[in-house]
Structure 1
Amino acid sequence: MSKYLIVGGVAGGATAAARMRRLDEHAEIVLIESSAYISYANCGLPYYIGGTIKDRSKLFVQTPESFGVRFALDVRTQQTVTAVYPDEHTVEIRRADGSIYRESYDKLLLSPGAMPIVPKIEGADLPGVFTMRTVEDTDRIKTFVNEHKPRRAVIVGGGFIGLEMAENLHEQGMQVSVVELAPQVMAPIDFSMASFVHAHLREHGVGLYLGQGLEQIASTASGALSLRLSTGELLEADILLLSIGVRPRTELATKAGIALGERGGIKVDAHFQTSAADVYAVGDAIEYPHPITGQPWLNYLAGPANRQARLVADAMVTGSSEPYEGSIGTSIAKVFDITVAATGLPAKALKQAGLPYQSATIHPSSHATYYPGAHQLTLKLTFDPKTGRIYGAQAVGIEGVDKRIDSIAQLIKNSGTVADLVKTEQAYAPPFASAKDPVALVGYVASNIISGKVKPLYWRDLNPEDLGQATLVDVRTPAEYQLGHIPGAINLPVDELRGLLDRLDPMRPIYVYCAVGLRGYLASNILRQRGFADVRNLVGGFKLWSAATADYNAPARPREVVSAAASYHTAQSDKPCTEIDARGLCCPGPIVTLAKAMQELEVGDRLRLVATDPGFVRDAKAWCQTTGNRFVEGGGDRGDYYVTIEKADRTAASEASCSSSAQPQGKTFILFSDDLDKALATFVLANGAAATGEKVTIFFTFWGLNAVKRGGIVPPKKDIWGKMFGFMLPKDSTGLALSKMNMGGIGSWMMRRVMRAKGVDSLEALRDQAIAAGVEFIACQMSMDVMGISREELLPEVTIGGVATYMQRANQANINLFI
């Protein structure tokens, strides 16, 4: 009778033990686990902390007792293997009480897993600082959250677990920030794809500190944690989670003289045999060649660990010679409303490995667009530019991501090519997919690149500041162009392109782009066949370029009510309701669409409009209060923002407005100027009005935005126009100049000095008084966009609004001043 000893009882160890018993009913199988738990769902731990999984017991596939009984195993928990003696075929084990004993084996399986990386940072051992890998870690975090009710959380590390924890702590009502040393979150995907994750995190108010490391942790007088980043910036937190990454547990192997590989994992052959006789290893602790590069790599995924466990059990018990094919690293995660998945190798890994590659990026819908609920997803494919072998794929979207990644993963596992990709058959019905499924579409795009039917231009190669001799052509509609375009581009809509060829020089390179790439491809075909030799199409279009070139570094902010899915429900009414899809339009597009559609309705009819502008619900409420129409309901659901509005009798609304207008209702100010004296006058008047108990609003537009800029922050990255405005504009309110006799700044210095001498409050003090008095600060979104000013540059008390928001405030006030 053979005796098998297994070290580690989670994914690899438990699976191997069960498989061994199925293969040999008579063998003696001993499973040693240092914790109190085996075979638990460690990927579900963040969701238990967040409350999505409420019953803790559901995290455990088996208890040690039930597992031992079912498979006739000797399961020993809370015992730790401290040494392996391969020559003697024994191990040393320490019990929970500290006593030591030895256990013999015929064959030994090491499945110790990985351990969190804890940086050598001052303060890493303070209360409120946690790592999370085990059930015990989870219990400690859960207890701390329940007892201390933390309000601010910081996650150091933007990997899968880090972002899952960010979401779940956010769901617990905390204000969450993520600090990541790399320039992006989620290392398995490329930077451009991670940009969509960055944008989604910012939409949910998560603070991002990308390209920054944690250098020191200290306690504050109030008991909070003070964190110093590598840039010198300070953050405060009530709870800190170190999720920097993990490393293989190789202590046992090292002490036993078992060989490690280049990446620091336990080196194994195709049957998981280590360098020691009768000693095998699987799971997070091993390294194994990647099927594509042939280079050793570490893979911390439960799926491959279970596959390895089955194969190693066969090899240990039956002597099976089936070799392990290796893992390509297929992973997936939920980040708030979106799904992020990857398989194979991203472009950055291929570049590091020295493999030639090209990529294709598309933005198809998750299912047929004419069937309700379709959402756009982004799918990127990497492949060999000559053979077409598929190297990897990444996808980000609301739904449909898992299906596409799994399909492509199977082809990669079998060394499939782009030609194989276009031959795949996908189940089609409008609620689930389109007749041209995204998997086939990305294959078609890749095929066109390989065949030379389209010459790709990648976002990293498009620098608007250095186009050289190239002509950049936006082939979208004029309306799309006006809403936003790449600097330096001229607008030649694809449907009019054939009649506008005289505006292009055939001797110069032509770079074309559209929203997502399709119209750019059509335009490039037209130009190539009309004598333009060097034509390139921007892969992924304006959508990918704008996402990849944006700066998402910003502090955390409280959750917006409008982003809560529960805030929307379908209003029940017998009245006619018109539905309009305004997704993709930027402010003031949705409001303009709303106003135009309401003109066509009869009194009492309802309109339901959906948009993707986060400020739309607020603007719609303000528009209704201004126009007299009835705001029925509104809210957000997975990236979409809804309103239902009922058309009212404008005559009756006007009469009601006139009858109430005689009563003082408040004051509104538009601060258009950034002259110091005019800004002072604005805040003095606002404070005086607020002192009477009236509602006061200051609407900051264009140059007036400089009066509410924050000082002492690292300016976010900007495009060329933002940089130009940033160079010309003052960094914050302390740089405001006088409208007259400024004399190169001497005048404003004198003014501030005289104010101090006479006991007059400074501009900044007056501004703080206004905030304390409840004066509402609204920044004009359109002005911010035009001048390249980001939300993060403004005071946290400032809210963002559009034209409709101001008009509603102005309509309610009896005095409106433009300064």
Structure 2
Amino acid sequence: MGERMVVIGADATGMSAASQARRLRDGDDLEIVVFDKGNYTSYSACGIPYWVGGDVTEAEDLIARTPAEHRARDIDLRLRTEVIEIDPAARRVLSLELDTGTHTWTRYDKLVVATGAVPIRPPLPGVDAEGVYGVQTLDDGQALITALASATGREAVVVGAGYIGVEMAEALIRRGFRVTMVTRSAEPMTTLDPDMGALIRKAMAGMGIRLVTGTEVTGMRTDATGRVRAVTTADTEFAADVVVLGIGVRPATDVARRAGLPLGESGGLLTDLSQRVRGHDDIWAGGDCVEVLDLVSGELRHIALGTHANKHGQVIGTGVGGGYATFPGVVGTAISKVCDLEVGRTGLGEQYARRAGLQFHVVTIESTGRAGYFPGAEPMTVKMLAERRTGRLLGVQIVGGDGAAKRVDTAAVALTARMTVEQMTALDLGYAPPFSPVWDPVLVAARAAARAVSRGG
């Protein structure tokens, strides 16, 4: 009898791992079985807000590879089937077919846990009411789109102001809803520092989004049928025909926890550099259900991004397939947009840097994305953190017009290479008036940071 690879989760990490293992062991006796409780495979969860907003017309547009395509590659894909128990001692998993209620034990030689993340649902009255949506999967997105189409009113409330919350608020505006965003933070996008988040707030106000900051949601008021009608706070309420939770996500590791697999502070699985679960040579994990090493702070963090998930899958599939690969860690790079405003960040903000015990200089500069005289030049704000004395780059945040967001990639490379801000000033970046001033905005910030480091203090 040959080896069996069992995968829990059929999105980025799971199907990348399965596909890579199949490539490396094509034609031999490796059996690959994949379980997923949903209806889709290999899709872009990051694209869901753009589907809701109408930029993407069909769910299928977000699917990189269909179930039929995976099955054609000799992968036994079992959708609408949830793994409810892992038995590491007996090397088997218990699955539940959601449509029939059938339970089945399946043996494994190699197990991949790729269960992803789930939207955070705070324990508030009415949070599970009809009309309250978290958006993490294509099934979630379809449920929300259906609800928006049939809503009798046009009031929408977004709870939380993270990346997904902000993107969903814009999508709802484009759907013709009046949108209120309620968040306990001082500014939207809490992965940015508040001074940079204030630029996002201004853009959101310009779109017609009512942003209520520094306010704790206490619950959801429902009607006699159990449908949400308002979001409540300590002293007021906001009418709601639809509520979207944009508080963030948590690792979907309940089944791993019950199996006794090691979890970190965030609840994410702990792995080694090859993505093997610590203490379990025959179990791998990756994607949104694991913690990753932050290469800047040296700490473990939960960062849910498709870029990491796909890379984890490649590493895992290589390991299962008999090869060797590792995932060294991340610097925390993310980009987004709010209307025409682009947002990018990488490395540490002030709060995270202080939490890591680092001392640093902070500079903020204003520039433009093109030569100032060139048509279409738009303003751009760049904030940069550099470690005291050493001058090591710690983090960059960018908010601005066309061309702002992807500039953060320059900083991401510099962070990975552990460059100082002084070294960054000599980077040979491309220049032409339609694309950049003579001094790129990132290098302008690096020069300012280098001066701050040289002055000391």
How far is 1:369 from its partner? 1.1
Say which SS state the counterpart of residue 362 (structure 2) adopts: strand
Q: Please give the alpha-carbon distance, in whole angstroms, between the structure 1 residues aligned to 2:290 and 2:80.
A: 23
Cα pair 1:81 1:94 within 8 Å, conserved: yes
Q: Please give the alpha-carbon distance, in whole angstroms, between the structure 1 residues aligned to 2:293 and 2:434.
A: 40
Say which SS state the counterpart of residue 393 (structure 1) adopts: strand
Cα pair 1:288 1:326 within 8 Å, conserved: yes
Say which SS state the counterpart of residue 342 (structure 1) adopts: strand
Residue correspondence of structure 1 range 242-391 to structure 2 within 5 A? 242-274=245-277, 275-320=279-324, 322-391=325-394
Q: Please give the alpha-carbon distance, in whole angstroms, between the structure 1 residues aligned to 2:57 and 2:426.
A: 44
What is the aligned partner in structure 1 of residue 230 from structure 2?
226
Q: Please give the alpha-carbon distance, in whole angstroms, between the structure 1 residues aligned to 2:96 and 2:230.
A: 39
Cα pair 1:379 1:395 within 8 Å, conserved: yes
Q: Please give the alpha-carbon distance, in whole angstroms, between the structure 2 residues aligned to 1:296 and 1:241.
A: 29
Residue correspondence of structure 1 range 504-523 to structure 2 within 5 A? none
Structure number with the higher strand fraction is 2
How far is 1:381 from its partner? 0.9
The residue type equivalent to 1:20 in the other structure is A
Distance 1:95 1:220, change over 3 A: closer
How far is 1:317 from its partner? 2.0
The residue type equivalent to 1:86 in the other structure is P
Q: Please give the alpha-carbon distance, in whole angstroms, between the structure 2 residues aligned to 1:402 and 1:340.
A: 5
Cα pair 2:371 2:435 within 8 Å, conserved: yes
What is the aligned partner in structure 1 of residue 238 from structure 2?
235
Gap regions ≥5 residues in structure 1: 456-819
Say which SS state the counterpart of residue 332 (structure 2) adopts: coil
**Higher gyration radius (CA):** 1
How far is 1:288 from its partner? 2.9
Residue correspondence of structure 1 range 188-227 to structure 2 within 5 A? 188-219=191-222, 225-227=229-231
Q: Please give the alpha-carbon distance, in whole angstroms, between the structure 1 residues aligned to 2:276 and 2:320.
A: 9
What is the aligned partner in structure 2 of residue 80 from structure 1?
82
Residue correspondence of structure 1 range 590-609 to structure 2 within 5 A? none
Q: Deviation per CA, 1:475-523, whole angstroms, max 9, x where unpaired?
A: xxxxxxxxxxxxxxxxxxxxxxxxxxxxxxxxxxxxxxxxxxxxxxxxx
| 2:37 is the counterpart of 1:29 | no
The residue type equivalent to 1:144 in the other structure is A
How far is 1:319 from its partner? 4.6
Structure number with the higher helix fraction is 1
Q: Deviation per CA, 1:145-187, whole angstroms, max 9, x where unpaired?
A: 1112531111001011111110010011111111111212112
Q: Please give the alpha-carbon distance, in whole angstroms, between the structure 2 residues aligned to 1:128 and 1:261.
A: 33
Q: Please give the alpha-carbon distance, in whole angstroms, between the structure 1 residues aligned to 2:102 and 2:224.
A: 43
Q: How many residues align?
A: 451
What is the aligned partner in structure 2 of residue 448 from structure 1?
451
The residue type equivalent to 1:156 in the other structure is V
Q: Please give the alpha-carbon distance, in whole angstroms, between the structure 1 residues aligned to 2:228 and 2:311.
A: 44
The residue type equivalent to 1:4 in the other structure is M
Q: Please give the alpha-carbon distance, in whole angstroms, between the structure 1 residues aligned to 2:382 and 2:358.
A: 21
Q: Please give the alpha-carbon distance, in whole angstroms, between the structure 1 residues aligned to 2:371 and 2:124.
A: 51
How far is 1:436 from its partner? 1.1
Q: Please give the alpha-carbon distance, in whole angstroms, between the structure 2 residues aligned to 1:319 and 1:85.
A: 26
Q: Deviation per CA, 1:87-144, whole angstroms, max 9, x where unpaired?
A: 2111111112111111111110100011111112112233222111111111111111
The residue type equivalent to 2:20 in the other structure is R
Cα pair 2:35 2:79 within 8 Å, conserved: yes
The residue type equivalent to 1:392 in the other structure is G
Cα pair 1:35 1:79 within 8 Å, conserved: yes
The residue type equivalent to 1:301 in the other structure is L
The residue type equivalent to 1:81 in the other structure is V
The residue type equivalent to 2:287 in the other structure is G
The residue type equivalent to 1:218 in the other structure is R
Say which SS state the counterpart of residue 267 (structure 1) adopts: coil
Say which SS state the counterpart of residue 318 (structure 1) adopts: coil
How far is 1:67 from its partner? 2.0
Q: Please give the alpha-carbon distance, in whole angstroms, between the structure 2 residues aligned to 1:363 and 1:4.
A: 53
Q: Please give the alpha-carbon distance, in whole angstroms, between the structure 1 residues aligned to 2:413 and 2:71.
A: 35
Q: Please give the alpha-carbon distance, in whole angstroms, between the structure 1 residues aligned to 2:155 and 2:75.
A: 45
Q: Please give the alpha-carbon distance, in whole angstroms, between the structure 1 residues aligned to 2:266 and 2:53.
A: 34
Q: Deviation per CA, 1:749-777, whole angstroms, max 9, x where unpaired?
A: xxxxxxxxxxxxxxxxxxxxxxxxxxxxx
Gap regions ≥5 residues in structure 2: none
Q: Deviation per CA, 1:709-763, whole angstroms, max 9, x where unpaired?
A: xxxxxxxxxxxxxxxxxxxxxxxxxxxxxxxxxxxxxxxxxxxxxxxxxxxxxxx
Q: Please give the alpha-carbon distance, in whole angstroms, between the structure 2 residues aligned to 1:306 and 1:226.
A: 39
Q: Please give the alpha-carbon distance, in whole angstroms, between the structure 1 residues aligned to 2:17 and 2:281.
A: 19
What is the aligned partner in structure 2 of residue 539 from structure 1?
none
In the superposition, the TM-score normalised over structure 2's length comes to: 0.95
Distance 1:283 1:393, change over 3 A: same
The residue type equivalent to 1:79 in the other structure is T
Q: Please give the alpha-carbon distance, in whole angstroms, between the structure 2 residues aligned to 1:186 and 1:14.
A: 30
Q: Please give the alpha-carbon distance, in whole angstroms, between the structure 2 residues aligned to 1:367 and 1:277.
A: 52
1:182 maps to which of 185, 193, 201: 185
Cα pair 1:86 1:277 within 8 Å, conserved: no
What is the aligned partner in structure 2 of residue 7 from structure 1?
8
Q: Please give the alpha-carbon distance, in whole angstroms, between the structure 1 residues aligned to 2:317 and 2:288.
A: 17
How far is 1:403 from its partner? 3.0
Cα pair 1:162 1:243 within 8 Å, conserved: yes
Q: Please give the alpha-carbon distance, in whole angstroms, between the structure 2 residues aligned to 1:2 and 1:301.
A: 31
What is the aligned partner in structure 1 of residue 144 from structure 2?
141
Say which SS state the counterpart of residue 153 (structure 1) adopts: strand
Q: Deviation per CA, 1:365-388, whole angstroms, max 9, x where unpaired?
A: 000011100001111111112111
Say which SS state the counterpart of residue 423 (structure 1) adopts: coil
Cα pair 1:263 1:296 within 8 Å, conserved: no
Q: Please give the alpha-carbon distance, in whole angstroms, between the structure 1 residues aligned to 2:244 and 2:255.
A: 27
Say which SS state the counterpart of residue 156 (structure 2) adopts: strand
Cα pair 2:130 2:228 within 8 Å, conserved: no
Q: Deviation per CA, 1:657-676, whole angstroms, max 9, x where unpaired?
A: xxxxxxxxxxxxxxxxxxxx
Residue correspondence of structure 1 range 42-121 to structure 2 within 5 A? 42-69=45-72, 71-96=73-98, 97-121=100-124
Say which SS state the counterpart of residue 410 (structure 2) adopts: helix
How far is 1:40 from its partner? 0.9
How far is 1:413 from its partner? 1.3
Say which SS state the counterpart of residue 367 (structure 2) adopts: coil
The residue type equivalent to 1:311 in the other structure is V
Cα pair 1:301 1:329 within 8 Å, conserved: no
How far is 1:425 from its partner? 1.6
Say which SS state the counterpart of residue 326 (structure 2) adopts: coil
The residue type equivalent to 1:254 in the other structure is R
The share of aligned pairs that are identical, in percent, is 32
How far is 1:224 from its partner? 6.6
Q: Please give the alpha-carbon distance, in whole angstroms, between the structure 2 residues aligned to 1:292 and 1:225.
A: 44
Moved more, 211-220 or 264-273: 211-220
Say which SS state the counterpart of residue 368 (structure 2) adopts: coil
The residue type equivalent to 2:384 in the other structure is L
The residue type equivalent to 2:427 in the other structure is T
What is the aligned partner in structure 1 of residue 432 from structure 2?
429
Q: Deviation per CA, 1:296-321, whole angstroms, max 9, x where unpaired?
A: 2111111011111111222222251x
Say which SS state the counterpart of residue 266 (structure 1) adopts: coil
How far is 1:221 from its partner? 8.4
Cα pair 2:22 2:321 within 8 Å, conserved: no
Cα pair 1:225 1:237 within 8 Å, conserved: yes
Q: Please give the alpha-carbon distance, in whole angstroms, between the structure 2 residues aligned to 1:356 and 1:4.
A: 46
Distance 1:280 1:447, change over 3 A: same
Cα pair 2:251 2:266 within 8 Å, conserved: no
Q: Please give the alpha-carbon distance, in whole angstroms, between the structure 1 residues aligned to 2:91 and 2:84.
A: 14
Cα pair 1:263 1:287 within 8 Å, conserved: yes
Say which SS state the counterpart of residue 243 (structure 2) adopts: strand
Q: Please give the alpha-carbon distance, in whole angstroms, between the structure 2 residues aligned to 1:420 and 1:150.
A: 56
The residue type equivalent to 1:120 in the other structure is P
Q: Deviation per CA, 1:420-450, whole angstroms, max 9, x where unpaired?
A: 2112122111111111111211111111111
Cα pair 1:408 1:439 within 8 Å, conserved: yes
